[in-house]
């Protein structure tokens, strides 16, 4: 994998966890919203932290789509699971949330499981005729 591809995966991690934390901070300021009262949804969307969170999550989506364009989902999702650690640290130091030992153990299990899954190649090798939409013809012996 190239440096550019690693930077795209890093962008997925940073944009996703930062966007979620901005969204969380904004929603804590807004308070509880009710889907039956549409005005409370507009109030939430008007919060600057929620707006910032939405923009960061749009950046997450763009970088995630870019990552999926060059690698399989079964590679991208595990490769970006480090965001669980990032999110937990942001929650502790910026949102001042308490993270119990049980939650840390859960994060550790997720990261360990990801380590088992992520050891393979970024793309599944397939013959050209097995790729949907491919016009390539198989080579003759």
96 within domain boundaries: yes
| Structure confidence by residue, pLDDT tens digits, 41-62 | 888 899 999 999 999 999 999 9
In this predicted model, which residue has the larger pLDDT, 125 or 7? 7
Q: What is the pLDDT of residues 5-21, one digit of tens each?
A: 889 999 999 999 999 99
Residue 138 is assigned to a structural domain of this protein: no
Q: Does 66 reside within a domain?
A: yes
Angle between helices 3-30 and 48-70 (to 10 degrees): 150
Under 8 Å between Cβ of 19 and 54: yes
Answer whether residue 134 shows pLDDT above 70.
no
* Length reported for the chain: 141
The pLDDT value recorded for residue 58 is 98
Q: With respect to residue 43, please indicate whether it lies within any of the assigned structural domains.
A: yes
Domain count, the chain: 1
pLDDT at 89: 93
Q: Of the ranges 30-39, 44-53, 107-116, 121-130, which is most confident?
A: 44-53
Average pLDDT of 103-120? 82
137 within domain boundaries: no
Domain, as residue range, for 36 = 3-130
**pTM of the entire predicted model:** 0.77
Provide the pLDDT confidence category of residue 26 given band limits of 50, 70 and 90. Answer: very high
Q: pLDDT digits over 87-99, tens only? A: 999 999 999 999 9
Q: Which residues of 23-49 are buried (b: 16+ CB within 10 A; e: fewer)?
A: bbbbbeebeebeeeeeeeeeebeebeb
Check: CB of residue 80 under 8 Å from CB of residue 16.
Answer: yes
DSSP string for residues in 81-131: TTHHHHHHHHHHHTS-----HHHHHHHHHHHHHHHHHTTS-SS----GGGS
Average model confidence (pLDDT) across the chain: 85
pLDDT at 17: 94
Q: Is residue 121 part of a domain?
A: yes
In a domain, 141, yes or no: no
Q: Is 37 inside any structural domain?
A: yes
């Amino acid at each position: 994998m190239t440096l550019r591809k690693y930077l795209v995966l890093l962008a997925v991690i940073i944009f996703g966890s930062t966007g979620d934390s901005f969204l969380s901070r904004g929603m804590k300021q807004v308070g509880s919203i009710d889907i039956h009262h549409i005005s409370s949804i507009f109030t939430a969307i008007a919060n600057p932290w929620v707006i910032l969170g939405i923009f960061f999550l749009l950046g997450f989506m763009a970088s995630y789509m870019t990552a999926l364009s060059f690698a399989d989902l079964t590679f991208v999702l595990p490769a970006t699971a480090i965001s669980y650690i990032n999110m937990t640290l942001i929650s502790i130091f910026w949102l001042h949330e308490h993270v119990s030992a049980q939650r840390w153990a859960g994060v550790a299990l997720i990261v360990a499981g990801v380590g088992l899954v992520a050891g393979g190649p970024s793309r599944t090798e397939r013959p050209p005729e097995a790729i949907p939409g491919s016009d390539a013809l198989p080579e003759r012996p």
